[in-house]
Amino acid sequence: MTATAIRMLAPEAVVLLAACVSLFAEHVPLLRRSIPGFGALAAAVAAALVMLPHRTTSFFGSMLLVDQTASFARVAVAALTAVFLMWLAARGMGRERSREATALVLFAALGGMLMASANDLVTLYLAIELATMPAYVLVGYARTEESGLEGTLKYYLLSLLTSLIMLFGLALLFTLSGSTAYGSLELAKAGSAGLLASLFVAAGFFAKMSAAPFHYWAPDAYAGAPAASVAFVSSVPKVAGLVAMARLLLALSGHVPGLTLALGTAAVLSMLLGNLAAFPQTDVRRLMAYSGVAHVGYLLVALTAGSVAMAAAVYYAVVYAIPSMAIMLIAAEEGVTLEALSALASRKPWKAWVSVLFFLSLVGIPPLAGFFGKLYVFGVALDRALVPLVVFAVLMSVVSLGYYFRVVRAMFARPVGEAAVSAAPSFVATAAIVLLAVATLSVGLAAGPLLAPLGFVFP
């Protein structure tokens, strides 16, 4: 391994080492009581290492590519993981099993960081499985709840099926092109076989990202999982998954014209089904699951526009993940149903108002991060003359305001029953949510400087 490869993979090495230490940290007196805090520190160090100046580099025979887009995603994955573990250190998910949760989160983050840099079919698939397998356990973390185990089983079985379909597609791509490297995937003369292979691969990505019509596992899995698990699984893996999906599918779409139509169709279905199905939900976890389906649809709008939308899609994935994680962390502390959240404004006003901030960002209200994310995505789509798709996406964004408002209305309404038992005050947990609120504001207002290194030029 060259010195350059060692330096570029130092962030992943830190996360891997921290994950392994977390598994056995109960035998280390200094770490026994603060395993999640140790993991948060390691993830923060990894994020700082990624931010060190560097040039675009490929190594291991170009199987991994560290460019500006990958670095942006790696920073986001590591930073969000650090904030989540920071909250976990204060709240826990069953303190006697905190080392397991910390290790699982770090292994998933490691897979996500490698996914963002994958430039080869082999490394892509291995990274996807590394990021996904810990998520199975996190979803079913409450082992005594039947609903959680049912959701985990649905998630596992559908993910297993679509992983096999995706693997078949990847094998077919290798057969048609004779190479596993992205740069050598030549399918111009493959005809219908190239389209079939690309659709198989896309189906695998759609299932991992909970895009329609492969989204049915998400509401049941999230509803049965602890809200804290949902906070991580619904946000961090999607950032890395989007980068991996965009890098491969955009490389294929130039050779497989029918793939663009498939991406556009999935975008419409995801936005329509996600937004409409979210309306009747009274469980915040199910509501956010359907909201996630809709937001994947907005991401697919960017991919439909072609390679020029890569930076906008990656940025949108990050600005979606930040408020999504924050809302679920608040639900983990205050309750996961609308009834449990009722009158939150009278009990803890700051949480109610900061929740309004997060929901407005998800809708796309300026000057929050979500507004700039949708502005950039819709802008590149308009440049490609995808006017009907953009109009539909804007209408669906307006529709989403309705079900987000239902949660806000419950928070500011009078209690309809016995008040839920709120979590005890914690400075560290509060700081984690405040950090996400600051990011929601700053990442929006500083969108230009953040995306300029990715090659996205604003007028």
- Residue 23 in domain: yes
Q: What is the per-residue pLDDT for 436?
A: 93
Let me know if residue 30 belongs to a domain: yes
Q: Which domain holds residue 278?
A: 3-454
DSSP state of 336: S
How confident is residue 29, by pLDDT bands cut at 50, 70 and 90?
A: low
**Token pair in block for residue 120:** 């080869």
Picking from 131-135, 269-273, 395-399, which range would have the lowest pLDDT averaged per residue? 131-135
pLDDT at 451 over 70: no
Q: Note the pLDDT of residue 194.
A: 81
Mean pLDDT (whole number) for 42-59: 83
Distance from CA of residue 228 to its chain's centroid? 14
Mean pLDDT (the chain) is 84
Helix (H, G, I), strand (E, B) or coil at 102: helix
> Residue 312 falls within a domain, yes or no?
yes
Please tell me the total count of domains within the chain.
1
pLDDT at 214: 85
Q: Do the domain assignments include residue 138?
A: yes
Q: What residues form DSSP beta bridges with 283? A: 337
| Domain assignment present for 207 | yes
Residue 76 located in a structural domain: yes
What mean pLDDT comes out for the span 301-306?
85
Q: Is 386 helix (H, G, I), strand (E, B) or coil?
A: coil
268-291 pLDDT, tens digit each: 999 999 999 999 998 999 999 999
- If pLDDT is split at 50, 70 and 90, which confidence band does 135 have? confident
Tell me the whole-structure pTM to 2 decimals.
Answer: 0.92
Mean local confidence (pLDDT), 138-152 = 73
Please answer whether residues 135 and 110 qualify as being in contact, where contact means their C-beta atoms are separated by less than 8 angstroms.
no
CA 200 to chain centre: 21
Please answer whether residues 398 and 66 qualify as being in contact, where contact means their C-beta atoms are separated by less than 8 angstroms.
no
In the chain, the amino acid numbered 112 is G
Q: What is the pLDDT of residue 424?
A: 67
The pLDDT value recorded for residue 276 is 93
Q: Which two tokens stand for residue 356?
A: 């309004």
Percent of the chain at pLDDT exceeding 70: 88
- Residue 459 falls inside a structural domain: no
pLDDT at 393 over 90: yes
pLDDT in tens, 176-234: 888 888 877 777 676 788 888 888 998 888 988 888 888 888 888 888 888 888 899 98
Residues 6+ apart with CB under 8 A from 355: 327, 330, 344, 407, 408, 411
Q: What phi and psi values does residue 163 have, to the nearest 5 degrees?
A: -65, -40
Report which DSSP code applies to 119: -
Residue 459 has pLDDT above 50, yes or no: no
- What is the distance between the alpha carbons of residues 323 and 326, in angstroms, rounded to a whole number? 5
Q: Is the pLDDT of residue 235 over 60?
A: yes
